[in-house]
């Protein structure tokens, strides 16, 4: 059995950012704008007292809609994904809905955010051996190809030094 398809079996919960910034409907548009600017993100999930998703407020909502509170300008019926959604399905949503970030739900509650960047990071963990073509999934830098033992699998010098 080859394990080339490891990434296809990964779920959203494996790659999502669990530290998610959310806002309530009664937060002012100005506060939401500050959060978006500060954290350089394009959208914030809007939740109720029980952390249940009620909408998403995006950069576009902030600059294009009238209203003083998040509840007035947010997009209701926002697209979200379940924590156990396949990454392939998430990619599909990113491509077809032209969105960059999706709230991740577990039993209706927001438990994370998954972004295009999270998926890109996953792709980067699939190391292609330049010698034999074997693809190996590894979180860290791969020293040698497990199949042909070639050592030039990590030819890039762009790898971050430890502790960076």
The answer to whether the CB of 41 falls within 8 A of the CB of 101 is yes
Cα(first)–Cα(last) distance of the chain, in Å?
Answer: 36
Q: Which string of x and - marks every residue 140-159 that binds Zn ion (by CB under 5 A)?
A: -----x-xx-x---------
Min CB(3)–Zn ion separation in Å: 14
Distance CA 91, CA 136 (A): 21
Q: Which string of x and - marks every residue 111-130 that binds Zn ion (by CB under 5 A)?
A: ------------------x-
Residue 63 found at the interface with Zn ion (CB under 5 A): no
Residue 135 found at the interface with Zn ion (CB under 5 A): no
Min CB(105)–Zn ion separation in Å: 40
Q: Which helix (H) or strand (E) holds 29?
A: helix 29-39
Residue 136 found at the interface with Zn ion (CB under 5 A): no
Distance CA 104, CA 77 (A): 14
């Amino acid at each position: 059995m080859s394990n080339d398809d490891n990434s296809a079996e990964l779920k959203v919960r494996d790659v999502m950012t669990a530290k998610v910034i959310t806002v309530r409907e009664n937060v002012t548009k100005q506060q939401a704008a500050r959060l978006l600017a500060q954290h350089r993100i394009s959208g914030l999930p809007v939740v109720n007292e029980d952390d249940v998703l009620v909408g998403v407020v995006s950069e576009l909502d902030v600059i294009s809609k009238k209203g003083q509170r998040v509840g007035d300008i947010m997009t209701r019926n926002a697209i979200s994904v379940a924590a156990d959604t396949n990454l392939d399905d998430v990619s599909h949503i990113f491509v077809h809905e032209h969105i960059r970030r999706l709230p991740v739900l577990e039993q209706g509650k927001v438990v994370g955010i998954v972004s295009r960047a999270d998926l890109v990071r996953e792709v980067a963990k699939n190391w292609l051996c330049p010698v034999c073509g074997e693809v190996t999934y590894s979180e860290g830098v791969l020293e040698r190809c497990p199949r042909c033992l070639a050592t030039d699998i990590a030819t890039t010098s762009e790898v971050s030094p430890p502790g960076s």
